[in-house]
Structure 1
């Protein structure tokens, strides 16, 4: 395994931590700023939307530059955003800090995924991307639960101070461990070349699957602290430990999903999304049972994150000639899904539908994602069949255009019309 993948995972850990830790601290943040649960949830949605902007605009702006310095600059931006969050005197400044940190998120993972894939053999690309995204799973397994406990014990601001320090460590890791390999396009019109990838219908279908498939899981997860305490009856002090359970599911799903996607990405995504719908419906129906809730949490994390390597690999596959901007756009799509899920979950709670309503909403969104994925997979299969048929026909024509050669003559004589 290239050591640079560890550095990318380290950066992913820091960024994943600042994205997800707020969920375990949402009740404390809402109380401190004296805002509603739904308003506090906009700290999640606002972050997600800012990721989309950064994933598109920042990635487009840096496609021509060497990727290692770009990754370092993005981490500096991330550190600054978390520092602002740590000292924010009010909700507005907190939102500003979240937005600044989020701008680095999409570009970092978009560019980093391309770098990770370039470090390994073609048959191991999804696995390499999964290793990079292990930083996100580690952030959930270790960072989010302990960050939540730190925030509950010493105030939520202490968690963001800790994230700022982690960001500095991650920056050092990028500078030391990522080699000076992998450059952006330096030829004139490279951005135009990157934009050509979006002519592919499969790229757009892949992005839509990312929005819906990942958004469904994230919508259910956004208000998980309220579900666990208000519906399942767990004490607030147990929430961090339950988040560890969720994180274990993420880690397992990310690892297995990456390996499965390297074998057959479309089949993997169809199966995983179908099972995720079942898991979310089961969770919504049994959230009042603590034992079944624990089982649902680990399954939701596992199947929810098993989609990530495949979703990222799929969009890069169909944008193979210019994958950087498409990769960044798909990272943005993950966060459009995050915002969609968090927004819809907040709407259902505000409407008085209860704290299991975000889970039902997530199941519905994921079901739509499954439908789109089935359509995309069928279209890709038809296109592959037509391509194979054309190649076979061309081969037959080429064979028919050859005549046996006489002894001592050249091996083949092409027909005159083949030369015209």
Structure 2
């Protein structure tokens, strides 16, 4: 359990820096002299860095000691937060965020493989859930705290605090993760890594992941201005709403872990449909504060309950060549985040308004339902069995 806690702490640090930007987006935009939709590219840029740089870095370091690699990635995170706090303009801030994002993408790819390798096969869902809960707890504690710090002392103070958080994460990995966590087996070729992606369970899961992120981040990227302008909340209540969203997400990730270890695909299909309905409900209640806050709480829970079985499914069906596939898990999530943030910015610039964002998300979730149903039927008819794990050094 202690090694998983170390991985959780670092996941919390990475999750905080990715998500807190949504809480301080108006302040960052004002401080760097850009419009809020333009500042939204700090979200999509970060997501793009994870999506592209993460897999490349993971492949380049696949024979490295996993503990040494995780320590190096966490050190890069820490230095990157200090650099972001000192960023003089929007362009440099964007480039720094992308650089940190490359480390983020590689970290989660490696951490997920290490986590499932530390537990029994019937505990994989909960191991994935624990690492993923680092992201959700960052929404419960990191994002609201970072938003409050930004409101009181300015957004640069938020990044300095995250720099300190990186130091804590580095120390936790160094102290709690076993020295011999293994490295990727040299017998697994790049061709094998690529071929496992052709398994329908893998590529359909990546499509579902993409739709899930459009459903989540099309709205979450602009959640602060949505709550201010559409719902009419006072700025002082925003951190508390983000806190509730994070509480829902934390509950959801462990529910998703249990469901992944029980009946993965039926549970996943049902939750995808519920999320489509929830986004439609958010559209309907967005002008009304209390119903909107309750809906944001449930929406957060479903987002992360869905994420756990998707990741567990990919790791299970790529166990024989996991390096590239595991790094594509954060990539798949963040391609969706980048598309969602960019699509949101385009819609806002076109004059559609913040209230239109959950409508796009609901449509994306219905696409995910269709893909998941087709994949489940395909798998049932073929009666294929997941591969055995590859040997590690």
Bin of the TM-score, shorter chain as denominator length:
over 0.9
Q: How far apart are the structure 2 equivalents of 1:360 and 1:32?
A: 31
Question: CA offsets per residue over residues 184-233 of structure 1, 9 Å max, x none?
Answer: 23425533332231231221111111111232112121111011000111
Are the equivalent residues in 2 in contact too, given 1:63–1:190 (CA < 8 A)? Answer: no
What is the CA distance between 1:180 and its match in structure 2? 2.3
TM-score (norm: length of structure 2)? 0.95
Q: Which residue in the other structure is 1:416 paired with?
A: none
Q: Which residue in the other structure is 1:75 paired with?
A: 74
Are the equivalent residues in 2 in contact too, given 1:83–1:97 (CA < 8 A)? Answer: no
Q: Which residue in the other structure is 1:318 paired with?
A: 317
- The unaligned stretches of length 5 or more in structure 1 are 388-420
Q: How far apart are the structure 2 equivalents of 1:194 and 1:63?
A: 11
- Pick the structure with greater CA Rg: 1
Counterparts in 2 of 1:202-221, with a 5 A limit?
Answer: 202-221=201-220
Q: Which residue in the other structure is 1:113 paired with?
A: 112
Are the equivalent residues in 1 in contact too, given 2:51–2:335 (CA < 8 A)? Answer: yes
SS of residue paired to 1:305 = helix
- The unaligned stretches of length 5 or more in structure 2 are 386-393
Are the equivalent residues in 1 in contact too, given 2:184–2:323 (CA < 8 A)? Answer: no
Q: Which residue in the other structure is 1:229 paired with?
A: 228
Structure 1 segments (4+ residues) deviating >4 Å: none
Q: Is the aligned partner of 1:340 residue 2:339? A: yes
Counterparts in 2 of 1:149-188, with a 5 A limit?
Answer: 149-187=148-186
Q: How far apart are the structure 1 equivalents of 2:229 and 2:283?
A: 13
Counterparts in 2 of 1:263-278, with a 5 A limit?
Answer: 263-278=262-277
Q: How far apart are the structure 2 equivalents of 1:68 and 1:54?
A: 20
Are the equivalent residues in 1 in contact too, given 2:188–2:321 (CA < 8 A)? Answer: no
Larger relative contact order (CA 8 Å, sep ≥ 6)? 2
Q: How far apart are the structure 2 equivalents of 1:213 and 1:272?
A: 11
Are the equivalent residues in 2 in contact too, given 1:21–1:148 (CA < 8 A)? Answer: yes
SS of residue paired to 1:356 = helix
Are the equivalent residues in 2 in contact too, given 1:114–1:327 (CA < 8 A)? Answer: yes
Q: How far apart are the structure 1 equivalents of 2:325 and 2:352?
A: 37
Are the equivalent residues in 1 in contact too, given 2:146–2:158 (CA < 8 A)? Answer: yes
Are the equivalent residues in 2 in contact too, given 1:84–1:97 (CA < 8 A)? Answer: yes
Structure 1 residues 367 and 181, CA gap change in structure 2 (3 angstroms): farther
Q: How far apart are the structure 2 equivalents of 1:334 and 1:171?
A: 24
Q: How many residues in Structure 1 have an aligned counterpart in Structure 2?
A: 385
